Structure 1
Amino acid sequence: MSIIFLIIGLVLLVKGADFFVEGSSSIAKRFNIPSMVIGLTLVAFGTSAPELAVSVSGSLNQANGIVFGNVVGSNIVNILFILGISAFISPISIKSKTIFKEMPFAILTTVALMLMVMDGLINGDPISVVSRSEGWILLLFFAIYLYSMVEIAILGKEESEGEILVLPVPKSILFTIGGLVAVVFGADLVVNAAIEIATILGMSETVIGLTIVAIGTSLPELITSVVAAKKGENDIAVGNIVGSNIFNVLFVMGVSGVIFPIEIATENYADLWILLAAMIIVVPMMYTSKKISRWEGAVMMLGYVGYSAFIIMRAIS
C-alpha cells in the first residue's frame, strides 16, 4: 500500500503544481503583471513546488533524511539526468550568461550549503545541522537573487517564452486553490509513504529521499526540459534546470531549515561532493562550442546511472 500511496502522492504533486501555475498565472495576468515576471516567480515556483512541499512536510515530521535527500537528490537528477536526456534528444545551445553568470551562481549556492552542513566534519561530530539562522540566511540570498532576476528581466525588456492563458476568474481561482491543496496533500502522502518504505526495506530516509522522492519531485523539470528540447527552446531547457537547482538550495532548504533545524549525517557529505563535482564538470561541456552535444548528454546520463549504483551499494553495505 505504501508504494500505491507514494505514486498517488507524486501524481497529486505534479498535476497540482501544473494546475496551480496555470490558475495563479492567469490571475496575475489579469492584474497586468508582465509575463516575464510571472515566469520568473510563479512558474519557477510551480516546477519546484513538489520539492518545496515534500521538504516542508518532511521538516514538520522531523524526517531530516527526506528533506536533505530530496533537495540534493533532485539537484543531481536535474544536472545529470534531466539536462543529459534533454541534450541527448537535441543538442542544446548555451548562452554566455548561463556559462559565466547563472552556473557559477548555482555552484556558489551549493558551496554555501556545503559550508553550512560540514560543521560536523570541522568539529568532529557525527551529525551536522542546518540551523534556523542558516535557513534565514539562505532565504535572504534567495530574496536578493529573485529581486535581481526580476529587475534584469524588466530593465532588459526580455520577452517571456510563450503566452500565458487567461482563464475565467472562477476557473482560475479553482485551479489555484485546488492545485495548492493537491500539492500539500500529495506531499504528505509522499513523505509518509517514503518513511514507511524506508522502514520496511531497512534503508535510511536519506536513501529514499535521494532516489525515489528526488526523481518523483523532479518530474515537472523533466517534462518541461524534454518538451523544450524537442521544440529547440534551449533557454527554457537549461534555465529551468539551473534555476530549479538555485531555488532548491536557497528557498526549499531555507524554508525547511527555518521550520525545523535539519540534521545531516556525515556519511551524506559524499552526495554534496558529487553534486558539486557534477556541476563543475558540466561547465566545460557548456563552454566547448557553446553547446551540450548528444554524446555529452549520454555521458551525463551514464554519470547518473553510476551515482544511482553508488547509492544502492552504500545502502546495502
Structure 2
Amino acid sequence: MDFGIIIQFVLLIAGFVFLIKGSDLFVDGSSSVASLLKIPAIIIGLTIVAFGTSAPEAAVSITSSLSGNNGLAVGNVIGSNLFNILFVIGVAALLGNLLMEKSVLKKDLPILLGITLLLTIFIITDWNISAIEGIILLVILILYVFSLIRTAKKDNDVKTDKPKLTPQKSIIFIVIGLAGIILGGDLVVKSASAIAIAFGMSETLVGLTIVAIGTSLPEFVTSLNALKKGENQLVIGNVVGSNIFNILFVLGASSAISPIPVDSSLITDIVFMIIVTIICFIFGKTQEKYDKKEGIILIALFIAYMAFAILRN
C-alpha cells in the first residue's frame, strides 16, 4: 500500500478520535453549565446529549457541504441511520432483550418515519436539498425539542444533577470539545475524500460505510454503556432520537448553509432506510421489545447492505 494512503488512514482514525472525544467533552461541559443553571436532568438528556452524540455527523456533513463534497454529507447521514438501527440495536438485542418504551413507539418512531418520508420527497422532487428545505427541517427540529421539553415538564420530573465541573472547567471543556469536533470533521472529510479517490471509490460509498460507521461510534458506545447499567429500554430511545437529529439537525443545518445536490443513485439507499425504519417499528410493536432472533435479522440485513454498497461501487 502506498505510504501516502497509509497517512490518510492514520488521519482518518485521528479525525474520528477528535470527533468522539470532542463530543464527549462538549456534552460534559454543556451538561455542567445546564446543571449550574438548574435545568432538569431529563431535559439535558433530551437536548444536549442528543445534540452531542450527533455532533460527529454534523461536523462531517457541514464540512462536506461547505467544501462541495456533497456525496459524503448525504451518504454519512443515510449510512449512520442504517448503522444505528441495524447494527447498534442488532448487537444490543443479542446481548439482552431490549424493551421498547411506549413513548418511543407512539411518538418518536412515527416521527422518525415521517421525517424520513419527508426527506425522501425533498430529494426526489429535484435531487437536491435546498436551503428552504433545510430551514423547514430545522423548524421541525425546534418544534420536536420543544415538545420533548413540554412532555418532560408535564411528567413533573424536576430532578437536577449536581454540576460535575466548575464553571471555568465547563467553559474550557466546551471550547476544547468544539475545537475537537471541528478539527475532527475537517480531518475525516479530507482524508476520506483522498482515500476514495485513491481506491476509485465514490465519496458517496465512503460516506455510507467508513465515515458513517466512524461517526456513529458515540451512539454505539452510549448504547453499550446503557446495557451495562441495565437500562436496556434506553437503547432504542437513544438510537431513534439520534436518527431524528441526524435528519433534522445534520442535513437541515448542512443544506441551510449550502444547498446539497443528491446523487440519484442514492434512491436505493433511501428506500432501504425507509424499509429499515418500518421494520424497526414492526419489531417493537409486536412484543414491545427486541429479542435475539430479531437482533440476528438486523445484523444480517446490515451485512447484506454493506456487501451491496461495496459491490455496487
Shared fold (TM-score greater than 0.5)?
A: yes
TM-score interval (norm. to shorter): over 0.9
One of 45, 58, 61 as aligned partner of 1:55: 61
What is the correspondence of 1:28-107 to structure 2 with a 5 Å cutoff?
Answer: 28-107=34-113
Which structure 1 segments of 5+ residues have no match?
Answer: 121-127
User: What SS is found at the alignment partner of 1:107?
Assistant: helix
Match of 1:129 in 2: 128
User: What SS is found at the alignment partner of 1:32?
Assistant: coil
User: What SS is found at the alignment partner of 1:203?
Assistant: coil
What is the correspondence of 1:149-168 to structure 2 with a 5 Å cutoff?
Answer: 149-158=148-157, 163=161, 165-168=163-166
Evaluate the alpha carbon distance shift between residue 174 and residue 303 of structure 1 in structure 2; reply closer, same or farther with a 3 A threshold: same
TM-score of the two chains, using structure 1 as the length reference: 0.94
Matched letter for residue 271 of structure 1? D
Say if 1:27 and 1:166, in contact at 8 Å, map to a contact too. Answer: no
Match of 1:268 in 2: 266
One of 208, 216, 220 as aligned partner of 1:218: 216
Match of 1:201 in 2: 199
- C-alpha distance in 1 between matches for 2:286 and 2:117: 24
State the 1:98 CA deviation. 1.7
State the 1:163 CA deviation. 4.7
State the 1:27 CA deviation. 1.3
Say if 1:190 and 1:213, in contact at 8 Å, map to a contact too. Answer: yes
Q: Kindly provide the CA deviation profile for residues 271-298 of structure 1, in whole angstroms up to 9, marking residues without a partner as x.
A: 1111110110121211222110011111
What stretches of structure 1 move > 6 A for 4+ residues in a row? none
- C-alpha distance in 1 between matches for 2:259 and 2:268: 21
TM-score of the two chains, using structure 2 as the length reference: 0.95
User: What SS is found at the alignment partner of 1:118?
Assistant: helix
Match of 2:4 in 1: none
- C-alpha distance in 1 between matches for 2:120 and 2:296: 28
Match of 1:110 in 2: 116
User: What SS is found at the alignment partner of 1:8?
Assistant: helix
User: For structure 1, which segment, 50-59 or 282-291, has the greater mean C-alpha deviation from structure 2 after superposition?
Assistant: 282-291
State the 1:174 CA deviation. 1.3
Matched letter for residue 132 of structure 1? A
One of 151, 172, 175 as aligned partner of 1:174: 172
Match of 1:141 in 2: 140
- C-alpha distance in 2 between matches for 1:175 and 1:271: 37
Match of 1:24 in 2: 30
- C-alpha distance in 2 between matches for 1:240 and 1:164: 23
Aligned-pair identity (%) = 43
User: What SS is found at the alignment partner of 2:68?
Assistant: coil
Q: Kindly provide the CA deviation profile for residues 233-276 of structure 1, in whole angstroms up to 9, marking residues without a partner as x.
A: 13321111000110010111000001111111111111111111
- C-alpha distance in 2 between matches for 1:164 and 1:269: 47
- C-alpha distance in 2 between matches for 1:100 and 1:42: 23
State the 1:164 CA deviation. 5.8
Say if 1:87 and 1:229, in contact at 8 Å, map to a contact too. Answer: no
Match of 2:308 in 1: 310
- C-alpha distance in 2 between matches for 1:310 and 1:157: 48
Matched letter for residue 202 of structure 2? S
- C-alpha distance in 2 between matches for 1:101 and 1:133: 26
Once superposed, what is the RMSD of the aligned Cα atoms? 1.3
Matched letter for residue 155 of structure 2? G
Match of 2:190 in 1: 192
Matched letter for residue 186 of structure 1? G
* Alignment: residue pair count: 307
Matched letter for residue 132 of structure 2? S
Say if 2:30 and 2:170, in contact at 8 Å, map to a contact too. Answer: yes
Matched letter for residue 142 of structure 2? A
